[in-house]
Amino acid sequence: MKLERLAQYKQFIIVGFGVEGKSSAKFLSAVFPHTDQEIIQTLESPLELKPNSAYIVSPGINRQKLLANIPTKHCTSNTEIFFENVAESDRKKIIGITGTKGKSTTTKFLYECLQTAHQQVAIGGNYGSPLLDHFKTIHQLDFLVAELSSYQLEFLKVSPFYSIFLNIFADHLDRHETLETYARIKQNIFNGTPPATHCLVPQSSRTQMIRQQLWINESTSQTIFTPSHPIDASIFPAESVFQAAHFRENFGCVQSLLKILVGAKTPEILKKTAQNFVGLPHRTEKFAEYHHVTFYDDSIASNPDTATAAIKVFGANLGAIILGGYSGGGTYEKTVQTLQKQAPKAFVWLPASNTRSEIIQTLKTHHFPASQIIQGNDFQTLMQQGFPLIPAGKSVILSPGAKSYDSFKNYQDRGKAWQESVHTYFA
Q: Which residue has the higher pLDDT, 330 or 78?
A: 78
297 shares a domain with 222: no
66 and 103: one domain? no
Where residue 128 sits, what CATH number does that domain have? 3.40.1190.10
Q: What is the dihedral of CA 271, 272, 278, 283, to 10 degrees?
A: -30
DSSP secondary structure of 43-106 = --S-----TTEEEEE-TTS-HHHHTTTS-GGGEE-HHHHHHHHS-HHHHTTEEEEE-SSSHHHH
Could you tell me if 156 and 265 lie in one domain? yes
Considering the domain architecture, whether residues 111 and 247 belong to the same structural domain is answered as: yes
**Residues 96 and 138 grouped into a single domain:** yes
Across 150-160, average pLDDT: 98
143 lies in a domain? yes
Express each pLDDT in 198-247 by its tens digit: 999 999 999 999 999 999 999 999 999 999 999 999 999 998 999 999 99
DSSP string, 114-152: HHHTT--EEEEESSSB-GGGGTTTGGG-SEEEEE--HHH
Q: Percent of the chain scored above 90 by pLDDT?
A: 97
Output the pLDDT for position 209: 98
Residue 147 covered by a domain: yes
- The residue out of 47, 76, 105 marking a domain boundary is 76
Pairing of strands 373-376, 36-40: unpaired
pLDDT for residue 328: 82
Give pTM, 2 decimals: 0.95
* Same domain assignment for residues 148 and 266: yes
Give residue-wise pLDDT tens across range 12-34.
999 999 999 999 999 999 999 99
DSSP letters of 166-192?
Answer: ----S-SHHHH-SHHHHHHHHGGGTSS
The pLDDT assigned to 423 comes to 99
Averaged pLDDT score across all residues of the chain:
97
Residue 81 lies inside a defined structural domain of this protein: no
Element (H, E) at 336: helix 333-342
Is residue 391 a part of any domain in this protein? Answer: yes
Q: Quick one: 310 and 357 in the same domain? A: yes
Which of the 8 DSSP states describes residue 236?
A: S
Q: What mean pLDDT do residues 42-56 have?
A: 96
State how many domains the chain has: 3
Taking only the tens place, the pLDDT of each residue in 179-193 is 999 999 999 999 999
pLDDT of residue 418: 99
Domain assignment of residue 237, yes or no: yes
34 found inside a domain? yes
290-301 average pLDDT score: 98
Q: What's the pLDDT score for residue 276?
A: 96
Is 341 found in the same domain as 261? no
Separate counts of helices (H) and strands (E) for the chain: 17, 16
Question: Does residue 320 sit in the same domain as residue 405?
Answer: yes
Q: Are residues 55 and 168 in the same domain?
A: no
- The percent of residues above 70 in pLDDT, for the chain, comes to 100
Condensed to tens digits (0 to 9), the pLDDT of residues 341-359 reads 999 999 999 999 999 999 9
pLDDT tens-place string over residues 382-423: 999 999 999 999 999 999 999 998 899 999 999 999 999 999
**Whether residue 195 sits in one domain with residue 152:** yes
Q: How many residues does the chain have?
A: 427
Edge-first strand order for the sheet with 293-297 is 285-290, 293-297, 395-398, 318-322, 347-351, 373-376
Full residue range of the structural domain in which residue 131 is found: 86-275
Distance from C-alpha of 370 to C-alpha of 277, rounded to nearest angstrom: 39
The residue among 214, 247, 275 that closes a domain is 275
In a domain, 280, yes or no: no
Provide the CATH number for the domain around residue 420: 3.90.190.20
From 54, 76, 98, the end of a domain falls on 76
**Residue 406 pLDDT:** 87
Residues 61 and 191 in one domain: no
Predicted local distance difference test score (pLDDT) of residue 359 = 98
